[in-house]
Amino acid sequence: MKNHPVLSLLMIGTLLITSCTSSPKQEQRAPILPLEDFFKNPDKTSFQISPDGEYFSYRAPYENRMNIFVQKVGEEGTTQITFETDRDIAGYFWANNNRILYVKDDGGNENYKIYGVDIDGSNLICFTDFENVRAGIIDDLKDIPEEVIISMNKRNPQVFDPYRLNIETGEMELLYENPGNIAGWITDHEGKLRAAIAMTDMINQSLLYRETEENEFKNILTTSFKETLNPLFFTFDNKMLYASSNIGRDKSEIVIFDPSSAEEKEVLFSHPDVDVSGLNYSEKRKVLTTATYVTDMQGRHFFDDVTKALYERVEKELPGYDVYLVSSNKEEDKFLVRTYSDRSLGAYYFLDTQKDKLTHLTDISPWLDESQMAKMKPIKYTSRDGKTINGYLTLPVGIEAKNLPVVINPHGGPWARDEWGFNPEIQFLANRGYAVLQMNFRGSTGYGREFWESSFKQWGRTMQDDITDGVQWLIDQGIADKERIAIYGGSYGGYATLAGLTFTPDLYKCGVDYVGVSNLFTFMNTIPPYWEPYKQMLYEMVGDPVQDSLLLADASPVFHADKITAALFVAQGANDPRVNKDESDQMVAAMKERGVDVEYMVKDDEGHGFRNEENRFDFYNAMEKFLAKHLENEVVEE
């Protein structure tokens, strides 16, 4: 089960580290790098290996759009198998040894269509070529090479039905008609549709289960949406469920759940500080391999000595990086390895366990020298009401961390979180001489139920206070020049930008709102139709437009535009299905009516964030000039 789509509008106390403010040896200042180096498409990325282990596939640019290429293992030649020029291919996978499936939308509308193509580029078919329909993959059915199970809201735009799709002929069979409240489907290891998650009374969550596909689904467990059991996959005998659960506890733990008795049988792994929601297994050996969680960094708990040895073997040869086994063949003797760090997008390697050989395949962005990139340092601070706020501070390389111009960067979601790792936006800003502060304000996920729930109906209130307290912490540390502070964010981060300029007008010199909410009433009225089952949940988390009308009016920046004195730059995709363009239009109109400096960029071929390379270049070029002007920061590219 994936997270509720409504929980993500887009897909910070005491300093814990002493090296933020000084270091024994001053680093040399990094050269100013071309903007395009941070935001251009990677050379090659998204590597996968075929089920038989004979081929690699990857995405790479073709006419500035990310397309799919195939290469035989051990050979240099490649075959381009897709030629999309209007939009990047958003994702893909090997359906069998001869056929690859991929998804793509139109202009950012997020109505993803599913395509199939043979590995020589022939037999291209769009399986879900329907207007205003969004499709997704439920189960890739690795043991049934010619079929997959997909979801579509073709019959009803508000709900998704499961279909069995033949990827050779395009024939489709409706497996179950969604009664209107099912939000997710779970198959067993034989590809049988055996469980589902339903929204009950639009606010509670129910687990539905059936013994076989011939039986009817029965409700076996109902909880508040705040206290949930999230099924991950069936046990290998298809009798029980592995799940992540916070029922009766603050932090989510990995458990075994018996659907026949609706009882939790065993806790497999928990962490005292954070939720544990990720669980992986070996498809060949039918054993659990790892549980994953995020503190300041990615964490892993091993259930399996074979997998532990694989990671230790790779980490020994690639010290200083996070490593991930991202793909394997069916026999699990060939693996693709991805490295990652805060200063590098990393590289891909091919691990052949039979030969015990690790081979470098490609660097993802070889034009970036990681020694010139800035370190992303975990920090903590305490909010005004005593909560511990975790975050990350990135300081420009070779510049004394004192009285710096600062960009405050609250994340989107808002029920998501920032994590440690390479972020091109953050590195770009640091390269221009800005300190960048990211914070996991209350409501950020992964820190337990109480921390999450403390954000309910707190847009523009304590959630915003957590951001403000981070700014003040940075000023108190002597790192920030209080006269040169900007705020920038996307989606909820765009809302937080507008709220920051509105409710703390003296704190920021300027702000950049990227696809952000400005009016909580119109936002609620323009959500995608498939968010409709979650509307009551959204009302409890943000506010009911009728019962909480005063609260929403008070928290909507558009109604308080008269308080804004700082300069504002707004960027919006015309086809955004999550935050309608009207959100930005309203804010810009309100600003212009008052004669306040506002810049507005709209891209007609984009949605919730700019995916096309040329649009990214335009946006960040405009943002760079805007920040330099209003924070009085002179930057000259070399």
Q: Is the pTM of this model over 0.75?
A: yes
CA angle 470, 476, 480 (to 5 degrees): 75
Ranges assigned E (strand) in 27-123: 45-49, 55-62, 65-72, 78-80, 91-94, 99-104, 113-118
Asked if pLDDT for residue 529 goes beyond 90, the answer is no
Q: What is the pLDDT of residues 309-364, one digit of tens each?
A: 999 999 999 999 999 999 999 999 999 999 999 999 999 999 999 999 999 999 99
Place of tokens 């700082």: 566
Q: Is 216 helix (H, G, I), strand (E, B) or coil?
A: coil
pLDDT (mean) for 4-33:
51
Asked if pLDDT for residue 629 goes beyond 80, the answer is yes
Asked if pLDDT for residue 633 goes beyond 60, the answer is yes
Asked if pLDDT for residue 22 goes beyond 60, the answer is no
Place of tokens 């279909």: 163
Cα distance between residue 616 and residue 514, in whole Å:
12
CATH T-level assignment (fold) for domain 35-363: Methylamine Dehydrogenase; Chain H (2.130.10)
Place of tokens 């009308």: 549
CA 393 to chain centre: 20
Helix (H) or strand (E) holding 204: strand 204-209
DSSP label at residue 8: B
pLDDT (mean) for 245-256:
97
What pLDDT sits at residue 73? 95
DSSP label at residue 607: B
Q: Which structure tokens are listed for 252?
A: 């989510």
What pLDDT sits at residue 531? 86
Cα distance between residue 80 and residue 46, in whole Å:
14
How many C-alpha atoms does 531 have within 13 Å on its Cβ side?
19
Contacts (Cβ under 8 Å, ≥6 apart) of 606 = 107, 108, 573, 574, 575, 576, 612, 615
Query: What confidence category does residue 635 fall into, taking pLDDT thresholds of 50, 70 and 90?
Result: low
- CA-nearest of 510, 516, 496, 377 to 441 is 496
What pLDDT sits at residue 5? 39
Asked if pLDDT for residue 238 goes beyond 50, the answer is yes
Cα distance between residue 503 and residue 569, in whole Å:
17
* DSSP letter string, 103-135: EE-STT----EEEEEETTS---EETT--TT--E
Cα distance between residue 586 and residue 578, in whole Å:
16
Percentages of the chain per state (helix, strand, coil), in multiples of 5: 20, 35, 45
Cα distance between residue 515 and residue 451, in whole Å:
26
- Measured CA distances, 170 to 83, 114, 327 (Å): 21, 11, 26
Query: What's the whole-number average pLDDT of the chain?
Result: 93
- Measured CA distances, 74 to 50, 53, 55, 239 (Å): 14, 11, 9, 42
pLDDT (mean) for 505-521:
97
Asked if pLDDT for residue 509 goes beyond 90, the answer is yes
Query: What confidence category does residue 221 fall into, taking pLDDT thresholds of 50, 70 and 90?
Result: very high
Cα distance between residue 531 and residue 5, in whole Å:
7
Domain ranges of the chain: 5-34+377-630, 35-363
Contacts (Cβ under 8 Å, ≥6 apart) of 316 = none
Range 5-34+377-630 classified under CATH 3.40.50.1820: yes
What pLDDT sits at residue 200? 84
CA 75 to chain centre: 34
- Measured CA distances, 322 to 151, 271, 337, 363 (Å): 34, 20, 10, 15
